[in-house]
Amino acid sequence: MKMHNPPHPGEVLRELCIEPMGLSITEAAEALGVSRKTLSAILNGRAGISPEMAVRLSLAFATSAESWLNQQAQYDLWEAEKKRNSLKVKRLSAA
């Protein structure tokens, strides 16, 4: 089921995982084994959750990697659907 205007997974990560634990971006990045720049880009919606990052998040926060990837897919699909009317695509049909 498609979600209406889903949040970027970085927003979810910040609001439900990092802030409640009182972690700084630097502390969270170190725990995840990534650079502060990488984590900051995700938290600010400038980068998405990769499969590797999903696994890192699942290990760090006792969640599932699939849930993080699903959030990213829902967000990406929502963004793509907003451009649907401007896409130049020819409908194909079987002969």
Each residue of 46-63: b (16+ CB within 10 Å) or e?
A: ebbbeeebbebbbeebee
- Residue 69 pLDDT grade (very low, low, confident, very high; cuts 50, 70, 90): very high
Q: Is the per-residue pLDDT at 1 higher than 90?
A: no
* Tokens 């451009």 sit on residue: 83
∠63-25-34 over CA atoms, to 5°?
70
Other beta carbons within 10 Å of 19: 11
Q: How many CA atoms lie within 13 A of 27 on its CB side?
A: 8
Decide: 7 and 17 in contact? Cβ < 8 Å.
no
CA 93 to chain centre: 34
- Residue 29 pLDDT grade (very low, low, confident, very high; cuts 50, 70, 90): very high
Query: Which CATH fold would you assign to the domain 9-81?
Result: 434 Repressor (Amino-terminal Domain) (1.10.260)
Q: Is the per-residue pLDDT at 78 higher than 90?
A: yes
